[in-house]
Structure 1
């Protein structure tokens, strides 16, 4: 304890330098935590799973995928026809609907991208919206909106960012002038919102409301169907229990003659996300292998510089300590401990503060990539900070600590006497 007290007193002797070193460490750990959080989430999203696999069915040859909506009823059983065929555990369909609540189209903030799907699938098929992934209050908020959506044919659930950009609140009506389904302009009642975080920029409505509008289109257009009436389905998600089931279901679908016009492909959600991320490959590679190491190197240099200055200023003190009986290795440990205390403490404060501010205050990192609009800080980040701060402090303090260890008493006192 006396040794630790000596370390703390040494740090307190120059509060300004200690504070600036700690502040620099906190800023760089903050940046590293943000970068690693995004990379960790994307790694998890693209990692192949062995159970509860989501299969994504899309049109084989066209991007964006556009399939007949009749495929939904055919795909919900995974094209199972024979006694040994496998059926999916669950499914959902996605229809993309984009438009603006500004009829003149002059305000970009009024643009709204929404997904038409089955409302009962929101808590069972959408990632991170099941009861096990949300707090009790957040899940209750979600289910309140889902239940209202089930009862309201023209209902829509908006994330909090979409509510803010549209300057609306729950219970308000909005009319969307569509840009991808010309002539299918829909009026919605906002019935709920999503828990803060990943779905802040999302919007979901009932697909049967959209289909009814599509069916009514010929009545006001001389009996002619909408040009996209036969291609209004974008994606179908199927949930299967394991890899073997996925392979079987994928084989059933791709070999079925029911899906020949247009033909479809089946892939895991992780592989499909990886395809979307190809456009960001260079950016993510740079963040992983250039930005992160550069930050860690900079952090080590900051700590090394601060400790080196301290050691040079205290040469006489170290010489006196050797005369008083301190061994060289004790001086080395003393300097390293000073750096470790600053690095670990600043790292913990930074990662803990980042976790709280991003998750509980800001509601996520706004960095839209593929289907992801925001990224949360994982709980693992709470130990990233102390580890990063500690290891970089250790690396940065080795050279100054060795310098303190090798202080020669005779040389120091000769300078003083001279």
Structure 2
């Protein structure tokens, strides 16, 4: 997790790993809340005056607030998608995942026999300086249909065939998966874990069974039992099966065909994941794998997970660039203009009030601060409330927004969206109100009362 854009999410994950930090975090939050409360209390007359000014034309304040909330909602959604894609393609320096695939072919199809030595990072027994990965995981893909006569989309199920024991340690966001579900898959090779959307699409339930006729593995039919659900969110469309069940079926195919192997029997390993502690270890392991004589039929390549994902997102690169550097700034500028327009109208209507305030002893700086505070209060609170509503609806209620980008089907709204909305609303309202506030500061008492007279 990136500390710059996701500090709150990072903090929450660290607290889950180290609950002993919770009292210190709560103490810091209470201290910060106390400081804010004391500041508001000390300047209570100022904030009361600003609030009354906003309530004077309630309709304009509400309309300006709604406009900012809509724009903040759009910005929050866009940032959640763009920043997450940047995050997964960002090169890390610690706790790296490496991906081994076939070097010259897409899709990658390697013999499963590669897995045994890849698990050791192709480390050689006679080379004590060779580095071994901390963990590893095989990936095999099995796609099938519930009805091979109709071949409808809703009848098709795509599965990841994996070692169940590796799910909690190697798969993103599955570290909290119930160990009992893993145990069920280990004991029952036919057991699968299925996402909620996929389960609903095939009209089945936990405990139910179904049979798939292989699409990529022709003449392979497998019967499955749904032993549990995958966590809500990014895995709603996915299904995970036990790799041993697929490999056993391929062995049975050879026995049933007088020893003749299935055409894909030596091409079942699609990906191999390795976990290494740091960049130095990755470079060493990658060199071991790429130069090993064990992987020549076919040759393989080893790259970081972020590099592998980035290659899949190449087709979206220009679109994402335009969204990040053209669309988002355009929305922020629009937010600033909305606030600027509302505050400008308010200042023009209240020129007499500004002149009276100067007569009563209010200095130009104080009047300017009052106008800026009105804008910041509307923009900041609207941005925060919009982000809060977005977070509660998409994260808590919907468990993510379905939006397909490459193989990412669901995007979540992280808790950091709260300060994104607050910051976007505050900064744009502050910038948009500078010119109107400066105009209010320069109101001349003599000119105003001369027109009144």
TM range (shorter): over 0.9
Equivalents in 2 of 1:15, 1:113: separation in Å?
55
Give the match for residue 377 of structure 1: 413
The answer for unaligned runs of 5 or more in structure 1 is 131-138
Deviations 1:354-398 (A, max 9, x none): 222221111112223344322222232221111111000101111
- Could you say which residue in structure 1 is the equivalent of 2:282? 246
Partners of 1:353 and 1:104 lie apart in 2 by: 46
Residue 168 of structure 2 aligns with which residue? 123
Structure 1 pair 3/188, CA: closer, same or farther in 2 (3 Å)?
same
* TM-score, normalised by the number of residues in structure 1: 0.93
**Residues 177-236 of structure 1 deviation map (CA, whole Å, 9 limit, x = unaligned):** 222112112221111112222222221100110111111223455653221111111000
What is the distance in 1 between the residues matched to 2:200 and 2:102?
Answer: 35
Give the superposition deviation at 1:92: 0.6
CA distance in 1, matches of 2:434, 2:302: 54
* Counterpart in the other structure of 1:303: 339
Q: State how 1:124-163 maps to structure 2 within 5 Å.
A: 124-130=169-175, 139=176, 142-163=178-199
Kindly report structure 1 stretches of 4+ aligned residues shifted beyond 4 Å. Answer: 219-223
1:174 to partner: Cα distance? 1.7
Report how many residues are paired: 408
Contact 1:99 1:111 in 2 (8 A): yes
In the alignment, which residue of structure 2 is the partner of 1:110?
155
In 2 relative to 1, CA 402–102 (structure 1 residues): closer, same or farther, beyond 3 Å?
A: farther
Helix, strand or coil for the counterpart of 1:204? strand
Tell me: CA distance 1:102–1:125, structure 2 relative to 1, closer, same or farther (3 Å): same
- TM-score using structure 2 length: 0.86
**What CA distance in whole angstroms lies between the structure 1 residues aligned with 2:403 and 2:55?**
40
SS of the aligned residue for 2:192 comes to strand
Aligned position for 2:98: 55
Is the partner of 2:302 in helix, strand or coil? strand
- Secondary structure of residue in 2 paired with 1:186: strand
- The more displaced of 162-171 and 118-127 is 162-171
Matched residues in 2 for 1:105 and 1:244: separation?
52
Q: Which residue of 2 aligns with 1:28?
A: 71
Tell me the CA shift for residue 411 of structure 1: 2.6
Quote the offset at 1:107 in angstroms.
Answer: 3.2
Match for residue 83 of structure 1? 127
Number of the residue aligned with 1:134: none
Query: Aligned in 2, Cα 1:286/1:106: closer, same or farther, shift over 3 Å?
Result: same
Q: Is the partner of 1:259 in helix, strand or coil?
A: coil
Is the 8 Å Cα contact of residues 144 and 192 (structure 1) preserved in structure 2?
A: no
Give the drift of 1:106: 4.8
Q: Which residue of 2 aligns with 1:190?
A: 226
C-alpha distance in structure 2 between counterparts of 1:51 and 1:383, whole Å:
27
Partner of 2:225: helix, strand, or coil?
A: strand
Contact 2:395–2:414 (8 Å) recurs in 1:
no
Counterpart Cα distance in 2 of 1:256 and 1:124: 27
State the shift of 1:237 in Å: 0.5
1:36: Cα distance to partner? 1.2
The answer for the alignment partner of 1:396 in structure 2 is 432
Distance 2:194 2:363 in 1: 67
5 Å-filtered alignment, 1:219-298, equals: 219-221=255-257, 223-298=259-334
Paired position in structure 2 for 1:178:
214
Separation of aligned partners in 2, 1:158 and 1:199? 8
Q: In structure 2, what is the equivalent of residue 135 of structure 1?
A: none
CA–CA distance in structure 1, aligned partners of residues 178 and 314 of structure 2: 32
Q: What CA distance in whole angstroms lies between the structure 1 residues aligned with 2:74 and 2:420?
A: 12
Please tell me whether the aligned partners of residues 142 and 194 of structure 1 are also in contact (alpha carbons under 8 angstroms). no
**Aligned residues of 2:145 and 2:151 also touching (Cα < 8 A):** no
